[in-house]
Homo-oligomer: A and B are copies of this chain.
Amino acid sequence: MQIAYRLSQIQSLSGADQLDGAFEGMITGIAALRDAEPGDLSFLGNKKYTPEVKESRASVILVPIEYQGTPKAGQCFVRVGNPSLALARICGELESQLWPWPEANIHPSAVIHETAEIGLGAHIGPGCVIEADAKIGDRSWLQAQVFVGRGVLMGERCWLRPNVTIYADCILGDRVRIHAGTVIGSDGFGYESPSGVHEKVPQIGNVVIENDVEIGANTAIDRARFSSTRIGEGAKIDNLVQIAHNVHIGPHCLIVAQAGVSGSTVLENHVVVAGQAGITGHLRLAAGTIVGAQGGIHFDTEPGKYYRGSPALEASLANRIHILSKRLPELFKRLEKIEESLLPSAH
């Protein structure tokens, strides 16, 4: 990553009012506090790393307004409300330089059905397959080897990475980003077994993904039995996540890697499901629910509450029980001591 910024550009991109110290050269890299070299931009985004600011060789450091400390000679502190957010905005500018949105193009190796509609300015990369009646919105970017099934409707400025598969009849809003290897619209896992042999329950619904959703790599989102599996506006889903049929993920939820949500469960808005957690089917997780990593939820939750463990409990109780369970050896010893002390009195 080769960059070249002046301090004034950093100040402008980060919206900072206050600079401590000065740096006259070019900023040529971004690095963590510990790894930074002269010429690098760094930031204090997590209090855990506060002691590293003093040691850092970075030329420019984004620090919180309230940070106590002064820069070394030739070093500049840029004071901002949220250093992580400020850096995100600087990196966003960089990203658009590194990987500029491509010009309109349809690669000759792409296989596009004659009834498919490709929007203005869309970029369809090599090896893509677009089936009948699919619509690709204006300026959307299918990078390479993407499959878009029959009748899929895709909004504007979507970005689909290589080897993404969108099954027939699914619907994507605007600015949806999907990472490589992810599958949208595979069949839900449904069988009837009247005699011990599993008879398939056809899955003839679809998946609807609303605006501004981002989905990680190698995730799977199943189509509904009928009606729709739905991913709400602005929700963010990480890698290797399983979303089963008929699930509704509310707006602005965060689903971390390797988590799974079973069939027909509803997550209201702003639910956070941490990594490797699992949610049983046919539940409702109220707005703002937080599920800890590896947690297993098998009940409806209350708004804004934090749950941990498998099976899950409210986090404060789960924590107490974890601490007390470490004392089980002591508990058994104390019990034995009491029993022994009571023995003589039984005589």
Q: Which residues of A pack against B, CB within 8 Å?
A: 1, 29-32, 35, 46, 48, 82, 84-85, 87-88, 91-92, 94-95, 98-99, 107, 109, 111, 125-127, 129, 143-145, 147, 150, 161-163, 165, 167-169, 179-183, 186-187, 189-194, 196-206, 214, 216-220, 222, 225-227, 234, 236, 238-240, 242, 244, 246, 252, 254, 256-258, 260, 262, 270, 275-276, 278, 280, 282, 293-294, 296, 310-311, 313, 317, 320-322, 324-329, 331-332, 334-335, 338-339, 341-342, 346
Pick the contact of A181: B181, B246, B294 (CB < 8 A). Answer: B181
B residues near A328, Cβ cutoff 8 Å: 320-321, 324-325
What separation, in Å, do the CA atoms of A224 and B162 have in the docked complex?
A: 19
Interface of A is mostly: loop
5 cross-chain pairs, A with B, having the tightest CB-CB distances, nearest first: A165-B180, A147-B162, A186-B217, A91-B202, A95-B202
Could you give 14 example pairs across A and B, Cβ below 8 Å?
A: A1-B204, A30-B227, A31-B226, A84-B201, A94-B204, A181-B182, A182-B218, A189-B216, A191-B254, A218-B219, A278-B294, A280-B293, A338-B338, A338-B339
Whether B192 and A88, one on each chain, are in contact in the complex, defined by CB atoms closer than 8 angstroms, is yes
Pick the contact of A91: B179, B218, B226 (CB < 8 A). Answer: B226
What separation, in Å, do the CA atoms of A259 and B205 have in the docked complex?
A: 25
Pick the contact of A218: B35, B181, B293 (CB < 8 A). Answer: B181
Closest-CB distance, A252 to chain B (whole angstroms): 6
7 additional A-B pairs beyond A181-B181, A183-B239, A294-B296, beta carbons within 8 Å, are A1-B226, A46-B282, A88-B190, A92-B202, A143-B147, A145-B163, A244-B257
The winner among A244, A276, A324 for most chain B CB atoms within 10 A is: A276
Whether B186 and A183, one on each chain, are in contact in the complex, defined by CB atoms closer than 8 angstroms, is no
B residues near A165, Cβ cutoff 8 Å: 161-163, 180-181, 217
What separation, in Å, do the CA atoms of A163 and B128 have in the docked complex?
A: 11
Whether B168 and A99, one on each chain, are in contact in the complex, defined by CB atoms closer than 8 angstroms, is yes
Whether A32 and B227, one on each chain, are in contact in the complex, defined by CB atoms closer than 8 angstroms, is yes
Closest-CB distance, A32 to chain B (whole angstroms): 7
